[in-house]
Amino acid sequence: ELKVEQNPLFLSMQEGKNYTIYCNYSTTSDRLYWYRQDPGKSLESLFVLLSNGAVKQEGRLMASLDTKARLSTLHITAAVHDLSATYFCAVVAGSNYKLTFGKGTLLTVNP
């Protein structure tokens, strides 16, 4: 059974600082997704990572994938308050399209 672990689960940051969220998964996969969820809202797609070594960047967020280590990272650069949200990674294994999600990382950026 595919397991996806995120850490940390809670992250309180100061504005302007950098930090990384880690996503480990237990079985071979070449498709990993990052989503953002604001309180009371739905999930917003951030990145799709499809191959080993893939790196995607959007604004202050950069995601990478190492399929050999079964690890993805979401790096936050110079955090701002607007980045406060819960971030989920999700992995697809095999030919089906069932997303297995991590527990999420609740990010709070403080002024």
Partner 1 sequence: KAGVTQTPRYLIKTRGQQVTLSCSPISGHRSVSWYQQTPGQGLQFLFEYFSETQRNKGNFPGRFSGRQFSNSRSEMNVSTLELGDSALYLCASRESLRLSYNVLFFGPGTRLTVL
Question: Rule CB under 8 A: which of 76-105 touch partner 1?
Answer: 88, 90, 92, 95-104
Q: Which is nearer to partner 1, 31 or 77 (CB)?
A: 31
Cβ count near 78 (within 10 Å): 10
Among 39, 42, 69, 111, binds partner 1 (CB under 8 A): 42
- Written as six digits, the tokens of 52 are 């080993």
The yes or no reply on residue 3 touching partner 1 (CB under 8 A) is no
Count Cβ atoms below 10 Å from residue 90 Cβ, excluding itself. 19
Single out the segment in contact with partner 1 by CB under 8 A; choices: 18-26, 41-49, 57-65, 68-76.
41-49
Residue type at 8?
Answer: P
